């Protein structure tokens, strides 16, 4: 799913657009015991509660695609009888009215979701009458030809409110506030099936994780049966390792700077395209070649890539590139450059020592003090 498709579903969680048919939940304590569960027709809930649920649901469809929101494909085996995809499909088809299926789903989550403390498992069923669109993206509300039926799950921590003093209007006094259990924003969740090309895609799911570097892999494996890609942090580390191992001990500053500039340029060229820019093994190799990596250093690149990322793995450009700044770091000095101006920093050999040379503009400040006259800083 791309951002526009995610936002289209997200916009449904308002009173005027809502088509949610049912909401179910199971409250789990820190010892993995089911404390209570509930099943309700969503629109029968009090208005105040509906707004709170909307907030939780929208949060499960937030963040960055490729970091917080991951498009996962189901393995073919998961679609066979007894597979994870087949189970989720039956759960959706039940419209959350089959108590046995719901209990089985809760048990799967509880057995695989690692969390210290209490949490709430929320499930909704929705049937969205998808409006048509013109070629230029205009919505035609009266031209719907498909219904997107889906379930959305979110897992929310439940914690005690903070202690403090509260004002009692009846007695006109301040007292110790009564602490109660608060449902917080979700840590994880998923949308099934995916809403790809504004249609139902039962072969994939959209997975949400609040912490990209802690994606609850056991939960994904057990409940979704899908394979998680490398986390955003792991992709960045993998790319950095590829650069270092490919260049070897005689890595040149200019080549590394070129890789940064060319990668930033690729991202800029791609910014109008909805899908995130993903680089496969061949595209990363082409990037290195374009940036001046010598051919002899690329002889073992394919093997290095396969070992670091995986033979068929792709790296998202936004995960591996730092487009906010260009940084040069030594044990004692850190130089940060505005994006697009890496050309201001170069290397030069002076008095037998390798030095950084920074081209200065007319305005220079040192600790907030403006220098009227300045010589080049080396």
Tens place of pLDDT per residue across the chain (378 aa)? 999 999 999 999 999 999 999 999 999 999 999 999 999 999 999 999 999 999 999 999 999 999 999 999 999 999 999 999 999 999 999 999 999 999 999 999 999 999 999 999 999 999 999 998 766 666 666 656 799 999 999 999 999 888 888 888 888 988 888 888 899 999 999 999 999 999 999 999 999 999 999 999 999 999 999 989 889 999 999 999 999 999 888 778 888 889 998 998 999 899 888 888 999 999 999 999 999 988 888 889 999 999 988 888 899 999 988 878 888 888 888 888 887 788 888 888 888 888 888 887 778 888 888 877 655 554
Please check whether residues 56 and 177 belong to one and the same domain: yes
Same domain, 12 and 161: yes
Instruction: For residues 204 and 241, state if they share a domain.
Output: no
Q: Do residues 129 and 144 touch, judged by C-beta distance below 8 A?
A: yes
Together in a domain, 249 and 362: no
Same domain, 246 and 211: no
Do 67 and 188 fall into the same domain?
Answer: yes
User: What is d(CA 346, CA 8) in angstroms, rounded to the nearest whole number?
Assistant: 46
21 forms bridges with which residues in the sheet?
Answer: none
Q: 184 and 86: one domain?
A: yes
Torsion 123-127-132-138 (CA) sign:
negative
Do 177 and 40 have their domain in common? Answer: yes
* Residue 378 counted as domain residue: no
Within the chain, where are the H helices?
A: 3-10, 47-59, 84-93, 99-112, 217-219, 232-247, 253-270, 281-290, 301-308, 317-320
* Long-range CB pairs of 340-348, under 8 A, 24+ apart, other chains included: 340/264, 342/257, 342/260, 342/261, 345/257, 346/253, 347/253, 347/254, 348/378
Domain that residue 128 falls in = 3-224
Please check whether residue 377 lies inside any domain of the structure.
no
Residues 146 and 252 in one domain: no
Whether 184 contacts 158, CB under 8 Å: yes
pTM: 0.84
**Is residue 203 assigned to a domain?**
yes
Residue 19 forms part of a structural domain: yes
Verify that 330 and 362 share a domain, yes or no: yes
- Minimal CA–CA distance to 39: which of 111, 122, 106, 104? 122
Same domain, 188 and 292: no
Domain count, the chain: 3
């Amino acid at each position: 799913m791309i951002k526009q498709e995610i936002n289209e579903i997200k916009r449904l969680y308002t009173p005027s657009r809502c088509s949610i048919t049912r909401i179910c939940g199971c409250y789990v304590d820190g010892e993995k015991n089911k404390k209570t569960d509930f099943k309700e027709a969503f629109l029968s809930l009090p208005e105040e509660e509906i707004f709170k649920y909307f907030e939780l649901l929208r949060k499960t469809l937030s963040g960055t695609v490729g970091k917080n929101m991951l498009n996962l494909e189901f393995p073919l085996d998961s679609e066979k009888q007894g597979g994870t995809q087949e189970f989720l499909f039956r759960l959706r088809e039940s419209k959350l009215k089959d108590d046995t299926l719901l209990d089985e789903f809760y048990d799967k989550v509880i057995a695989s979701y690692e969390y210290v403390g209490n949490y709430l498992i929320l499930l909704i069923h929705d049937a969205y009458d998808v409006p048509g669109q013109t070629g230029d993206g205009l919505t035609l509300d009266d031209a719907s030809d498909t219904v997107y039926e889906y379930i959305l799950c979110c897992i929310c921590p439940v914690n005690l409110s903070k202690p403090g003093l509260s004002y009692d209007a009846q007695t006109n006094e301040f007292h110790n506030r009564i602490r109660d259990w608060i449902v917080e924003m979700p840590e994880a969740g998923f949308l099934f099936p995916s809403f790809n090309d504004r249609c139902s895609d039962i072969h994939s799911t959209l997975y949400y994780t609040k912490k990209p570097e802690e994606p609850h892999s056991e939960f994904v494996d057990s409940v979704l049966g899908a394979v998680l890609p490398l986390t955003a942090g792991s992709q960045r580390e993998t790319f950095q390792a590829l650069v270092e191992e490919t260049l070897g001990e005689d890595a040149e500053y200019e080549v590394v700077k070129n890789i940064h500039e060319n990668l930033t340029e690729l991202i800029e060229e791609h910014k109008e395209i909805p899908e995130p820019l993903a680089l496969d093994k061949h595209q990363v190799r082409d990037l290195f070649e374009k940036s001046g990596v010598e051919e002899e250093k690329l002889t073992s690149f394919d093997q290095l890539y396969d070992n670091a990322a995986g033979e068929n793995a792709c790296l998202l450009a936004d995960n591996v590139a730092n487009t906010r700044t260009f940084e040069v770091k030594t044990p004692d000095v850190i130089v940060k450059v505005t994006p697009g101006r890496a050309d201001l920093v170069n290397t030069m050999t002076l008095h037998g020592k390798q030095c950084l040379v920074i081209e200065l503009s007319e305005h220079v400040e040192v600790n907030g003090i403006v220098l009227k006259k300045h010589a080049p800083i080396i």
